[in-house]
C-alpha cells in the first residue's frame, strides 16, 4: 500500500511521549530491526501529536538514533508518512519519519531557521 505524507505544520505541538528505543526484529533473540536502504538500526519513538485541544500518541519509526530526544521534549519531525498495513486479519497504520530531533536543533533541510535571512 502507498504511504501517505502527513503535514506536520498543521499540529500545534509535537512532543516525545516515549523515549527512543531500538525496534526489535526478533523478541526472542533480541535482534534489532535495520533499515533496508541505510543499514542503520531502526528506532521507535512515541510522539504526542497535538492539534488544538485534541492529542494522539503514535509510535513513529526512524532510521538511526534520534540524538538528544528525551521524554516530554518538543520535537521536530521531517517527512512523516503513514502507511496502512494488514497481516493475518490484523490491520493498522505504521508511521515513519526521515528524522526526529529536538525542536531547538537546527533544521536539516526544507525549513527556514528562525531569524534566517532577516535583520538581526
Q: pLDDT digits over 58-79, tens only?
A: 999 999 999 999 999 999 999 9
Q: What is the pLDDT of residue 1?
A: 64
Cell numbers describing residue 23 = 525496534
What is the residue extent of each domain of the chain? 4-102
Q: What is the pLDDT of residue 71?
A: 96
What is the dotted CATH code of the domain comprising 4-102? 2.40.50.390
Q: What is the pLDDT of residue 27?
A: 87
Residues (pLDDT < 70) of the chain are: 1, 105-120
Provide the sign of the torsion angle of the four alpha carbons 53, 98, 60, 83, taken in this order. Answer: positive
Q: What is the pLDDT of residue 2?
A: 85
User: Backbone phi, then psi, for 10, in 5-degree steps?
Assistant: -80, -15
Closest CA to 96 of 26, 25, 47: 47
Amino acid at each position: 500500500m502507498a504511504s501517505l505524507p502527513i503535514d506536520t505544520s498543521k499540529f500545534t505541538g509535537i512532543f516525545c511521549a516515549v523515549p527512543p528505543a531500538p525496534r526489535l526484529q526478533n523478541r526472542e533473540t533480541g535482534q534489532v530491526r535495520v533499515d533496508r536502504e541505510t543499514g542503520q538500526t531502526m528506532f521507535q519513538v512515541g510522539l504526542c501529536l497535538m492539534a488544538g485541544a485534541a492529542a494522539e500518541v503514535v509510535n513513529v519509526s526512524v532510521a538511526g538514533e534520534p540524538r538528544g530526544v528525551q521524554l516530554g521534549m518538543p520535537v521536530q519531525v521531517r517527512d512523516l508518512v503513514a502507511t496502512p498495513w494488514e497481516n493475518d486479519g490484523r490491520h493498522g497504520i505504521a508511521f515513519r519519519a526521515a528524522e526526529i530531533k529536538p525542536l531547538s536543533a537546527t533544521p536539516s533541510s526544507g525549513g527556514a531557521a528562525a531569524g534566517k535571512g532577516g535583520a538581526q
